[in-house]
């Protein structure tokens, strides 16, 4: 079987066109965000919308719940779609909903989305108080059922405590190292060492605010950053989590940033004069450009085996280890 190509974070405005682009780009699996601020009941509607897409486009996409779903997708020429939340809002205040969501196919959940949550502290808060009482219980329950803890939008202390408290490796699905581009959402060397040192995975983001030189970031620069990260953290803990936000109206980034919690405009990583989604770098505009990444990594000096690992085989191994119940 060919090596798996997996992008472990996308938030595309999905359409038949976008699904066909996945196939053209040879993407075997994606992890898609299906909630930012939704309540339990609202997030169910997002699952239901995906169920309809699986029914409508059975030749292009298929529900993903385990590593074997990726293998089956490769065999049948389709893309396996895994669900995740960027916020724990869909579990509300009920630890029992963690298993219910796992039953509904959720495989990644961030403990926070920028702000303080019931579980931990987001990376935009002034003070990070680490995992809450509910947060520690939720991590245990996520470990038990096989729902991966994702700390992409969390503060450093919360992230370190999640790594420490979790009995299974966790993930930062979409961020880059601060030593390459010092953005609030990128991660410190200390956090990345703790993450990867415990078997956790880092997915490299191609969202312009996470890139050195933003939209003008070059493929070379991006791939050299990955080469340096491989030296520091080991190639086996690295993958792609592009954070591709394709074809979304700017009203969506406003929802992502402001939800229902703010009456003022919060610009997040943007600013008043750059309020919308920033343009993608020209070497990664949509899923058809996925082969550019493999080519760039090869050109940087990675072996084919290492490129395969970063482009998907590492995530596939992580899926195999992470999505089943702890026994």
Site residues, a copy of itself (CB under 8 A): 40-41, 44-45, 47-49, 51-52, 55, 94, 96-97, 99-100, 103-105, 144
CB 231 → a copy of itself: shortest distance, Å? 43
CB 73 → a copy of itself: shortest distance, Å? 17
CB 97 → a copy of itself: shortest distance, Å? 7
For residue 96, what are its two tokens? 């029992």
Strand partners, 10: 32, 244
Please state, in angstroms and rounded to a whole number, the distance separating the CA atoms of residues 106 and 104: 6
CB 233 → a copy of itself: shortest distance, Å? 35
Instruction: Decide whether 33 or 65 has the Cβ nearer to a copy of itself.
Output: 65
Phi then psi dihedrals of residue 218, to 5 deg: -90, 155
CB 52 → a copy of itself: shortest distance, Å? 7
CB 277, CB 257: distance < 8 Å: no
Phi then psi dihedrals of residue 254, to 5 deg: -65, -45
For residue 308, what are its two tokens? 């395969």
DSSP code, position 210:
G
Instruction: Decide whether 48 or 305 has the Cβ nearer to a copy of itself.
Output: 48
Instruction: Decide whether 144 or 212 has the Cβ nearer to a copy of itself.
Output: 144
CB 64 → a copy of itself: shortest distance, Å? 13
Dmax over CA atoms of the chain, in Å, equals 52
Instruction: Decide whether 72 or 288 has the Cβ nearer to a copy of itself.
Output: 72
Please state, in angstroms and rounded to a whole number, the distance separating the CA atoms of residues 171 and 201: 5
Instruction: Decide whether 90 or 177 has the Cβ nearer to a copy of itself.
Output: 90
One DSSP character per residue, 229-296 reads: HHHHH-GGGEEE---B-TT--HHHHHHHHHTTT-SSPP-TTSBTTB-SPPPPPTT-SSGGGHHHHHHH
Instruction: Decide whether 129 or 137 has the Cβ nearer to a copy of itself.
Output: 137
DSSP code, position 159:
H
Please state, in angstroms and rounded to a whole number, the distance separating the CA atoms of residues 167 and 184: 27
């Amino acid at each position: 079987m060919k090596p798996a190509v997996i992008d472990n974070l996308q938030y595309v405005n999905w359409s038949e066109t976008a699904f066909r682009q996945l196939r053209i780009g040879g993407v075997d699996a994606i992890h898609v965000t299906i909630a930012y601020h939704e309540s339990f009941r609202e997030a169910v509607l997002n699952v239901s919308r995906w169920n309809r897409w699986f029914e409508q486009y059975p030749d292009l996409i298929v529900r993903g719940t385990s590593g074997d779903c990726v293998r089956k997708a490769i065999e049948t020429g389709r893309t396996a779609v895994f669900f995740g939340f960027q916020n724990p809002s869909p579990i509300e205040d009920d630890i029992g909903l963690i298993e219910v969501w796992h039953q509904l196919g959720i495989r990644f959940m961030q403990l926070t989305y920028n702000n303080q949550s019931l579980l931990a502290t987001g990376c935009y808060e002034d003070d990070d108080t680490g995992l809450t009482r509910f947060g520690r219980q939720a991590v245990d329950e996520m470990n038990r059922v096989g729902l991966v803890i994702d700390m992409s939008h969390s503060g450093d202390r919360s992230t370190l405590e999640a790594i420490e408290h979790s009995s299974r490796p966790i993930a930062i699905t979409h961020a880059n190292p601060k030593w390459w581009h010092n953005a609030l959402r990128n991660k410190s060397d200390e956090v990345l060492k703790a993450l990867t040192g415990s078997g956790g995975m880092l997915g490299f983001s191609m969202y312009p605010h996470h890139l050195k030189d933003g939209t003008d970031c070059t493929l070379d620069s991006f791939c050299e950053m990955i080469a340096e990260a491989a030296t520091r953290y080991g190639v086996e803990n690295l993958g792609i989590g592009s954070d591709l936000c394709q074809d979304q109206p700017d009203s969506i980034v406003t929802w992502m940033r402001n939800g229902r919690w703010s009456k003022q405009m919060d610009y997040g990583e943007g600013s008043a004069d750059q309020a919308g989604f920033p343009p993608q770098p020209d070497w990664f505009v949509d899923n058809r450009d996925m082969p550019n990444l493999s080519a760039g990594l090869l050109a940087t000096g990675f072996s084919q085996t290492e490129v395969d690992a970063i482009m998907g085989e590492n995530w596939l191994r992580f899926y195999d280890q992470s999505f089943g119940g702890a026994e």
